[in-house]
Amino acid sequence: MTSLEQRFPVAEPVEVGSLLDEVRAEPSGGRLTVGDPRVVEFVTKFARKLLAPALARRYPELASLGFFLRKGELAKALSTLETSGDSLRFPRGLVFHVPPANVDTIFVYSWALSALAGNSNVVRVSSRSAGAAEAVLEALNAALDDVSPEAADVIRATQRMVTYDRSDEVSGALSLAADLRVIWGGDGSVAALRKYPLAPHARDLTFPDRSSFAVASVRGWQEATPEQRRGAAEGFYNDSYWFDQAACSSPRAVFWVGDAAGARVAGEEFRALLASVLEAKQHVTEPAMAVQKRVSAYGAAVDGLVSAISFDGNSLATLELTDATVMPREWLGAGTFANAHLASLGELVPLVLRKDQTVAQFGFTRDELVEFVTELAGRGVDRVVPFGSALTFAGVWDGYDLLAEFSRLVTVQS
Amino acid sequence: MSVFTRSQAEREAQLLPELAELTAHHRASSEGYDRILTSLGIAPNAPFATIADLPWLPVRMFKTHDLKSIPDDEVFKTLTSSGTTGAGASRIYLDKDAAGAQTKQLGATLQEVLGGERLPMLMVDTIGIIKNRRSFSARGAGVLGMANFGRKHTYVLDENDQPDVEAVKKFLAEYGDKPFLIFGFTFMVWLYLYEVARDHGLDLSNGILIHSGGWKKLIDRAVDNTEFRRRFKEDTGLTRIHNYYGMIEQIGTVFLEGPSGNSLYCPDFADVVIRDPETWQEQPVGKPGVIEVVSTLPRSYPGHVLLTEDLGVYNGIDDGDWPGKHFSVLGRLPKAEARGCSDTFSGAAA
């Protein structure tokens, strides 16, 4: 028997059967509801801890998380669940979350939205969880002492974050007990978890491997002020370098859209600005990463994908695509960008795959972007965001309205 | 004929034209290699002022791509090795000439310390490592490659990987009063030869030890090269000890520890460049950097100028046991790891 280490609320190791009995028991203060005030109270207190200056300075990604979970934001998100007419909204029940091992904060977004929808949750936290994840667990446990007894009791009764070694028995039991299973961590994780059957009524919410790219309007760049251009480079830095460009939302290719001569000039200006941002941020690329980037870049050259490679120090590698219609979607190393010119956004349409998630954009009008997405007609792309917002998590992710997915509708006709 | 004769100035003068010609040869014969150099903006026939100016390939390229400068039907031997970093194995393609040249030059290099004759040989390994001729581990390939330089081979480990003290005693009784060759991987030499010889009071003073493979596995035993040499000398009488540094991607080229120890030397057909990992410029003596290995041997694949994943430092130039640059290997570059949305290790989810 594998026992589970209980990270939140902190408790003695437990067998999976007992854990399931506990979270499925009727809580003493009454069942959780959609937007349950006890959960809102707890999450708000927890968010405040994340926004404490000392913590936010150490882990900037926790500040974004804290911001996302502030009281006003929660109210706004929950307002989208209000029903009218014949429909009433209820929690799904028990949700089993398998977050990625190497993005420290995703498990919190996944858990918090599910808890706000009124679900009992079991979250598998990676044993390899690093600094930010540890800080999150600490803040969660500390928040239990800051809330009303009613809130603390119901959270303790219904929410669990656990760590366990690879185990068919545990993953199997949690899968079978879940009303909804949420799998992050890419294709590999989805395939591994799909081995475990769900109850007939249950379903999976999967977040497979995704890739993202950026588009910049030559006209928009030409019309932008020096400050706006600098801002674009800074935003792009955050989009790309925060998670070593390995986050699914980080752009891996940049398309300059407009006339060829303008695209060349704009691309060069942007590259110089990005290099100066990297310098200002004192961005350090480890030697091993610098070598990795060369392996990838040279490999792309061998494969005939790129016609020119240029390095601005170790931090920035720019690969000119031989053919703009063949973009690399795989990770090529932190700070490695394929670069190409297109005459119009429309040229991108046939290239887009279902796998494409985020389009970071600079300099386009809303109408241009809506037209582009309309032309895509669902081929791919889940979100279009301005430079600087690629990594900003939202309640709608990978095409799913998460709060809606975490709840269900009951209709009443008298 | 010693292959440790060229001063650094002679090396530049003699090797640079050969290496420039090799670069042109590989560009003409390997489309992939040519594409890399073209992408970097290096013109065909671009002049190179020094060996350090030659374009380098990361050694891992041979794990991710098939790079060869010979047609498929001339491939005589394909060497594969899985290194310790990353997935996949290097694939190195040799034609008949290249296979012959690498054996010949390895022999010429080792002759410096072994002399011209084949010596009785102690293998610090198990015969099992070369039993399966179909699939060799890197260790097996090393043992087999080195076996050519000795005769009367005796294996120090039995079939169960246990030290065979009787076999070693028998070997020493028979051949121990004249020079004999000892070969093995550094950590095995320490665990299975040094400790056994010390505990049984064996006399290895006529031995010539050739060993390789790094010190990582000996760190927790607080054994570095200096300690290794000191203890062997004090406890077994063995003083002729030569560590070497080499890799399958530059097969046949080994950088050999000089007689006075603690520094590796380049044979006349090879060179080394220590690079600053920030600027990629050559480091001065005493400043650590990433090791680039240079050799005129690789003609059947573009492996003549390779950036390794090891850190090293020049100990001096033209001021050691033999002419040219001499250096130490300090360890491996730490692995590049990225955080991302996808779990990059298998079995993470279940």
Q: What is the pLDDT of residues B139-155, one digit of tens each?
A: 777 777 888 899 999 99
Tell me how far apart the alpha carbons of residues B116 and B111 are, in angstroms, rounded to a whole number.
Answer: 6
Q: Is the pLDDT of residue B84 over 60?
A: no
pLDDT > 70 fraction of chain B, expressed in percent and rounded: 92
Put simply, whether B75 touches A (Cβ < 8 Å) is no
pLDDT > 90 fraction of chain B, expressed in percent and rounded: 75
Tell me how far apart the alpha carbons of residues A208 and A252 are, in angstroms, rounded to a whole number.
Answer: 17
Q: Would you place residue B349 in the very low, low, confident or very high pLDDT band (cuts 50, 70, 90)?
A: very low
**Can you tell me the mean pLDDT for B160-172?**
92
Q: Residue B67: its pLDDT value, please? A: 97
Q: Would you place residue B135 in the very low, low, confident or very high pLDDT band (cuts 50, 70, 90)?
A: low
Q: What is the pLDDT of residues A182-214, one digit of tens each?
A: 999 889 889 999 999 999 999 999 999 999 999
Q: Which residues numbered 39-98 in A keep a CB inside 8 Å of some CB on B? A: 98
Tell me the domain boundaries of chain A.
3-209+398-411, 211-386
Q: Residue B85: its pLDDT value, please? A: 45
Nearest to A233 by CA among A249, A254, A247, A212: A254
Q: Would you place residue B87 in the very low, low, confident or very high pLDDT band (cuts 50, 70, 90)?
A: low
Query: Which residues of chain A neighbour B55 with C-beta distances below 8 Å?
Result: none
Q: Is the pLDDT of residue B8 over 60?
A: yes
Are B35 and A308 in contact (CB < 8 Å)? no
Q: Nearest by CB to A299, from B65, B309, B341: name it.
A: B65
CATH topology of domain A3-209+398-411: Aldehyde Dehydrogenase; Chain A, domain 1 (3.40.605)
Q: Which of A148-157, A279-288, B133-142, B340-349 has the lowest mean pLDDT?
A: B340-349
Residue B154 near residue B160 (C-beta atoms within 8 A): no
Query: Which residues of chain B neighbour A290 with C-beta distances below 8 Å?
Result: 277
Rounded to a whole number of angstroms, the distance from the CA of A275 to the nearest CA of chain B is 15
Tell me how far apart the alpha carbons of residues A164 and A158 are, in angstroms, rounded to a whole number.
Answer: 19
Q: Which pair of structure tokens corresponds to residue A262?
A: 């303008």
Identity of the residue numbered A119: N
For B81: left if phi > 0, alpha if psi spans -120 to 50, otherwise beta; the answer is beta
Q: 């005493």: which residue's tokens?
A: B286
Tell me how far apart the alpha carbons of residues A338 and A332 are, in angstroms, rounded to a whole number.
Answer: 9
Q: Residue A133: its pLDDT value, please? A: 87
Q: Is the pLDDT of residue B341 over 90?
A: no
Q: Which pair of structure tokens corresponds to residue A30?
A: 């009454």
Q: Would you place residue A294 in the very low, low, confident or very high pLDDT band (cuts 50, 70, 90)?
A: very high
Residue to mutate among B56, B287, B311, B342, with most A CBs inside 10 A, is B342
Q: Would you place residue B295 in the very low, low, confident or very high pLDDT band (cuts 50, 70, 90)?
A: very high
Q: Which residues numbered 152-211 in B keep a CB inside 8 Å of some CB on A? A: none
Q: Which residues numbered 168-227 in A keep a CB inside 8 Å of some CB on B? A: 168, 171, 183-190, 192-193, 195-196, 207, 209-210
What are the CB-based long-range contacts (under 8 Å, 24+) for B243-247?
Answer: B243/B186, B243/B211, B243/B212, B244/B210, B244/B211, B244/B212, B245/B212, B245/B310, B245/B329, B246/B212, B247/B59, B247/B81, B247/B293, B247/B306, B247/B308
Backbone angles phi, psi at B256, to 5 degrees: -110, 140
Q: Give me the helices (H) in B65-210, please.
A: 96-114, 138-147, 165-175, 186-188, 195-200
Nearest to A19 by CA among A161, A128, A129: A161
Q: Is B87 exposed, middle or buried (CB count within 10 Å of its CB: 0-12, 13-18, 19+)? A: exposed
Residue to mutate among B39, B63, B301, with most A CBs inside 10 A, is B39
Q: Is the pLDDT of residue A404 over 90?
A: yes
Q: Residue B222: its pLDDT value, please? A: 84
Q: Residue B345: its pLDDT value, please? A: 31
Q: What is the pLDDT of residues B191-236, one digit of tens each?
A: 999 999 999 999 999 999 999 987 888 877 888 999 999 999 999 9
Tell me how far apart the alpha carbons of residues A374 and A367 are, in angstroms, rounded to a whole number.
Answer: 10
Non-local (6+) Cβ contacts of A64 within 8 A are A105, A391, A392, A393
SS3 for B78?
strand
Q: Which pair of structure tokens corresponds to residue B59?
A: 């050694």
Q: Beta strand pairing status for B305-317 and B325-332?
A: antiparallel
Q: Is the pLDDT of residue A49 over 90?
A: yes
Superfamily for domain range A211-386: Aldehyde Dehydrogenase; Chain A, domain 2 (3.40.309.10)
H/E element, A292: helix A287-302
Please give the residue that has the higher pLDDT: either A232 or A186. Answer: A232
Tell me how far apart the alpha carbons of residues B204 and B238 are, in angstroms, rounded to a whole number.
Answer: 5
Q: Would you place residue B346 in the very low, low, confident or very high pLDDT band (cuts 50, 70, 90)?
A: very low
Q: 């990463």: which residue's tokens?
A: A289
Residue to mutate among A126, A181, A193, A302, with most B CBs inside 10 A, is A302
